[in-house]
Amino acid sequence: MDVVWSHGTIGSPGVQGALAPERQLALTTVVTTLDRLYKKGILRRERVGKGYQYSAAVSRSDLEQRIVRGVLADLMTEFPDALTSLLEEDAALPPDLHDRLSEWLRRQQEEAENA
Protein backbone atom coordinates (compact mmCIF):
# COMPACT_ATOMS: atom_id res chain seq x y z
CA MET A 1 0.00 0.00 0.00
CA ASP A 2 2.92 2.34 0.63
CA VAL A 3 3.85 2.05 -3.05
CA VAL A 4 0.29 2.81 -4.20
CA TRP A 5 -0.09 5.72 -1.79
CA SER A 6 3.23 7.23 -2.87
CA HIS A 7 2.56 6.83 -6.62
CA GLY A 8 -1.14 7.68 -6.69
CA THR A 9 -1.91 5.42 -9.66
CA ILE A 10 0.30 2.50 -10.62
CA GLY A 11 0.17 -0.82 -12.48
CA SER A 12 1.30 -4.17 -11.15
CA PRO A 13 4.69 -4.06 -12.97
CA GLY A 14 5.30 -0.67 -11.35
CA VAL A 15 4.50 -2.07 -7.91
CA GLN A 16 6.83 -5.01 -8.56
CA GLY A 17 9.59 -2.65 -9.66
CA ALA A 18 9.14 -0.36 -6.67
CA LEU A 19 9.39 -3.33 -4.30
CA ALA A 20 12.35 -4.95 -6.12
CA PRO A 21 15.12 -3.31 -4.04
CA GLU A 22 13.57 -4.78 -0.88
CA ARG A 23 11.91 -7.97 -2.13
CA GLN A 24 12.13 -10.09 -5.23
CA LEU A 25 8.49 -10.91 -5.95
CA ALA A 26 7.04 -12.68 -8.96
CA LEU A 27 4.68 -10.51 -10.96
CA THR A 28 1.91 -13.08 -10.42
CA THR A 29 2.31 -12.62 -6.65
CA VAL A 30 1.97 -8.84 -6.99
CA VAL A 31 -1.06 -9.19 -9.31
CA THR A 32 -2.76 -11.60 -6.89
CA THR A 33 -2.12 -9.31 -3.92
CA LEU A 34 -3.42 -6.23 -5.75
CA ASP A 35 -6.51 -8.18 -6.84
CA ARG A 36 -7.23 -9.23 -3.25
CA LEU A 37 -6.85 -5.65 -2.03
CA TYR A 38 -9.21 -4.52 -4.80
CA LYS A 39 -11.81 -7.14 -3.81
CA LYS A 40 -11.59 -5.98 -0.18
CA GLY A 41 -12.32 -2.41 -1.26
CA ILE A 42 -8.87 -1.14 -0.33
CA LEU A 43 -7.86 -0.41 -3.93
CA ARG A 44 -9.66 0.93 -6.99
CA ARG A 45 -8.66 -0.27 -10.42
CA GLU A 46 -9.15 0.76 -14.02
CA ARG A 47 -8.44 -1.40 -17.04
CA VAL A 48 -5.64 0.00 -19.18
CA GLY A 49 -4.65 -2.17 -22.12
CA LYS A 50 -4.22 -5.75 -20.93
CA GLY A 51 -3.73 -4.83 -17.28
CA TYR A 52 -5.03 -2.57 -14.56
CA GLN A 53 -3.96 0.68 -13.00
CA TYR A 54 -4.52 0.72 -9.26
CA SER A 55 -5.14 3.59 -6.86
CA ALA A 56 -5.96 3.73 -3.18
CA ALA A 57 -9.65 3.56 -2.27
CA VAL A 58 -8.88 4.32 1.39
CA SER A 59 -6.46 6.59 3.18
CA ARG A 60 -3.63 5.28 5.31
CA SER A 61 -5.43 6.31 8.51
CA ASP A 62 -8.69 4.66 7.41
CA LEU A 63 -6.87 1.42 6.64
CA GLU A 64 -5.01 1.52 9.95
CA GLN A 65 -8.31 1.99 11.78
CA ARG A 66 -9.91 -0.87 9.83
CA ILE A 67 -7.03 -3.19 10.72
CA VAL A 68 -6.99 -2.21 14.40
CA ARG A 69 -10.77 -2.63 14.68
CA GLY A 70 -10.51 -6.10 13.18
CA VAL A 71 -7.69 -7.14 15.48
CA LEU A 72 -9.49 -5.78 18.55
CA ALA A 73 -12.73 -7.50 17.57
CA ASP A 74 -10.85 -10.79 17.20
CA LEU A 75 -9.08 -10.28 20.54
CA MET A 76 -12.37 -9.50 22.29
CA THR A 77 -13.96 -12.61 20.81
CA GLU A 78 -11.09 -15.07 21.20
CA PHE A 79 -9.20 -13.77 24.25
CA PRO A 80 -11.51 -11.55 26.32
CA ASP A 81 -9.90 -12.42 29.67
CA ALA A 82 -6.36 -11.78 28.44
CA LEU A 83 -7.38 -8.48 26.82
CA THR A 84 -9.20 -7.34 29.96
CA SER A 85 -6.21 -8.29 32.10
CA LEU A 86 -3.85 -6.32 29.87
CA LEU A 87 -6.08 -3.25 29.91
CA GLU A 88 -6.44 -3.42 33.69
CA GLU A 89 -2.66 -3.31 34.22
CA ASP A 90 -1.87 0.40 34.42
CA ALA A 91 1.85 -0.26 33.95
CA ALA A 92 1.23 -2.00 30.62
CA LEU A 93 -0.23 1.12 28.98
CA PRO A 94 1.13 4.64 28.61
CA PRO A 95 -0.97 7.01 30.76
CA ASP A 96 -2.38 8.93 27.78
CA LEU A 97 -3.50 5.71 26.10
CA HIS A 98 -5.04 4.45 29.33
CA ASP A 99 -7.00 7.71 29.64
CA ARG A 100 -8.15 7.59 26.02
CA LEU A 101 -9.28 3.97 26.36
CA SER A 102 -11.12 4.76 29.58
CA GLU A 103 -12.92 7.64 27.89
CA TRP A 104 -13.79 5.46 24.89
CA LEU A 105 -15.17 2.72 27.16
CA ARG A 106 -17.24 5.30 29.05
CA ARG A 107 -18.75 6.58 25.77
CA GLN A 108 -19.45 3.02 24.60
CA GLN A 109 -21.29 2.29 27.83
CA GLU A 110 -23.34 5.50 27.53
CA GLU A 111 -24.28 4.66 23.94
CA ALA A 112 -25.32 1.13 24.95
CA GLU A 113 -27.48 2.50 27.77
CA ASN A 114 -29.14 5.05 25.46
CA ALA A 115 -29.80 2.56 22.67
Terminal Cα-to-Cα distance of the chain (whole angstroms): 38
Query: How many domains is the chain partitioned into structurally?
Result: 2
Residue 9 sits in the same domain as residue 49: yes
Task: Give 74-94 as a DSSP string.
Answer: HHHHH-HHHHHHHHH-GGGS-
d(CA 46, CA 61) in angstroms, rounded, equals: 24
What CATH number is given to the structural domain containing 39?
1.10.10.10
pLDDT tens string 83-113: 888 777 766 778 788 788 888 878 878 888 8
Residue 16 sits in the same domain as residue 37: yes
- Distance between alpha carbon 95 and the CA centroid of its chain, in Å? 25
Q: Which domain holds residue 80?
A: 60-114
DSSP state at residue 95: H
pLDDT tens string 4-63: 999 999 999 999 999 998 889 999 999 999 999 999 999 999 999 999 999 999 999 999
d(CA 114, CA 84) in angstroms, rounded, equals: 24
CB atoms within 10 A of CB 11: 19
Which of 28, 32, 9, 30 has the alpha carbon at shortest distance from 19?
30
